[in-house]
Amino acid sequence: MDRYKIIKEVGDGTFGSVYRALNKQTGEVVAIKKMKRKYYSWEECINLREVKSLRKMNHPNIVKLKEVIRENDILYFVFEYMECNLYQLIKDKVKLFPEAEVRNWCFQVFQALAYMHQRGYFHRDLKPENLLVTKDLIKVADFGLAREVCSQPPYTEYVSTRWYRAPEVLLQSPSYNSAVDMWAMGGIMAELLSLRPLFPGSSEADEIYKICSVIGSPTQKSWAEGLQLANSINYQFPQLPGVHLSVLIPSASDDATNLISSLCSWDPNKRPTAAEALQHPFFQSCYYVPPSLRARTAITRTPPSVGTKTTLEQRSTRRYSGTFSDTKPLRNFSSAKANTTLSPGVVPKKLEMDHQATNKLDKSVKVVAKQPQPKYRPPARNSPTSLYTGGRALRGVSDATEKLAQLTVSTGKVVAPPSKQQASAPPPRMKAGGWHGHTTDGFLGRPTHEIPSARNHSRRVAG
């Protein structure tokens, strides 16, 4: 620890205190977490959940563990430094965050969660205090309660700060999975858009009451397993109709409330995964489609109908037009960016394309075939255009060039019909998918009479 100079304490929790420090050798500012309990061997340190999980993960939206130091039986974690956490931004905010800023933050967190869940871990303690922010960059931190998906239940009852705790955990379910992180993200997202906690319960029972008052009480149809969990601990749900989220978060868009509704579903199996959440229309504007993908898509444009006379503009002879699709993305997918769907019809984009050999012969005009052409057959050795015939092949190319040079194009029709070598059948249409998430009708109910202010809620920070 002699290499670091402590600047000031920036946080204190149940398990440790966090300090801002300076690396004397490199001048880098870091965050050092000093654990409160003592560790008497390296084996104890290496087997800590936080160490095991962070050693296996390397993602731009997950805080980096730079070093682990054990000195005088005291354990220190050295992390990259982030300016503040999301809770500090929320409590000091007077005006609402722009939805675009909330979208950017949530998009990054869902990317981190998708990466984490894919590698067999779920966080279990997601809350604004554990989301660290520096300018537009946000990172998930504090993996002290992280569990492996494949680890054996029963899990501990206390998982996260009560306001972001999933109902299956509140009802003491012995087994749960990464869906608890998705519930927490629904609450965090709602809080970012309203600057108020969505379910600010003062106890476990009050927390469930708050949840019922917002999304309505569970039924046999909506969550049969939850009713069984409640019966096993002799708990009876309050019968409340719930309220539409647009009443509680009037500034939020329909896509935003729809996503929050899906994330805050009673049944864990009905919540979208992190990968599916990234495909929700709420995040559609976050995707950048690289030029290489646009180029491949431009080739597969919709072909003209058979028999339709089509004249291409002269400016399109060197370019193809590609478009972004405004259709909703597919829910099931393997990679968010890989499945971004493209199709013609919305925002035109001109994309550079490599010409085929036949197109190089004609840079002034392209003629679309009016009738389907026969399948291509490779030339035989005795064919006039075969590469094996020497000078005859060159003469055939020269004749074709002269014929193409004599063609003219008008706005009404094609003067000269295309030859079989010039025309090629366009490839079939690409199909676009749609978001198969939950509708916004899941939270219909009576509006609440009063929306509590964020100033009335006290928050206890757990390390």
Tokens for 407?
Answer: 């063609």
Per-residue pLDDT, 15: 79
Q: Report the pLDDT value the prediction gives residue 257, as an integer from 0 to 100.
A: 97
Note the pLDDT of residue 321. 39
Instruction: Please report whether residue 424 resides in a domain.
Output: no
Q: What are the C-alpha distances in Å from 161 to residues 201, 343, 456, 458?
A: 10, 44, 17, 12
Last residue of a domain, one of 31, 62, 80: 80
* Domain CATH for 146: 1.10.510.10
Q: Which amino acid is at 115?
A: Y
Kindly report the pTM of this predicted structure: 0.62
Please give the C-alpha separations between residue 267 and each of 219, 249, 386, in angstroms, as whole numbers.
10, 23, 67
Pair 71, 94 in one domain = no
Whether residues 318 and 382 share a domain: the answer is yes
Residue 307 lies in a domain: yes
Q: What is the mean pLDDT of each run of 10 residues along the chain (463 residues)?
A: 92 85 95 92 86 87 93 93 94 94 97 94 91 96 62 45 93 92 97 96 94 97 96 95 95 97 97 97 88 59 44 41 40 41 41 43 45 50 45 49 54 50 51 43 40 52 46
In 3D space, the residue among 205, 123, 221, 114 whose CA is nearest the CA of residue 167 turns out to be 205
167 and 47 belong to one structural domain: no
What pLDDT does 6 receive?
95
Residue 234 sits in the same domain as residue 106: yes
Do both 73 and 89 map to the same domain?
A: no
| β-sheet bridge partners, residue 22 | 5, 29
* pLDDT score recorded for residue 191: 97
- Cα–Cα nearest to 54, from 151, 123, 155, 106: 123
> Which entry of 12, 73, 125, 362 is annotated as an active-site residue?
125
Residue at a domain's end among 49, 80, 111? 80
**pLDDT, position 336:** 41
User: CATH code at 28?
Assistant: 3.30.200.20
**pLDDT given at position 407:** 56
Q: How many domains are there within the chain?
A: 3
Is residue 174 in some structural domain?
Answer: yes
- Residue-number span of the structural domain to which 204 is assigned: 84-280+441-456
pLDDT for 199: 96
Rounded to an integer, what distance in angstroms lies between the CA atom of residue 218 and that of residue 241?
10
User: For residue 172, what are the contacts with CB-CB under 8 A and spacing of at least 6?
Assistant: 157, 229, 233
pLDDT score for 320:
39
Residue 434 is assigned to a structural domain of this protein? no
Residues 447 and 375 in one domain: no
Known catalytic residue: 354?
no
> Which pLDDT belongs to residue 22?
96
Kindly report, residue by residue over 61-112, the tens digit of the pLDDT: 999 999 999 999 999 999 999 999 999 999 989 999 999 999 999 999 999 9
Residues 331 and 192 in one domain: no
pLDDT at 456: 54
Q: Residue 137 in 3-state DSSP? A: strand
pLDDT of residue 427: 52
Identify the residue whose tokens are 């994330």.
263
Residues 233 and 313 in one domain: no
Residue positions forming the annotated binding site for ATP: 34
What are the pLDDT digits (tens) for 218-252?
Answer: 999 999 999 999 999 999 999 999 999 999 999 99
Nearest to 127 by CA among 157, 92, 87, 90: 87
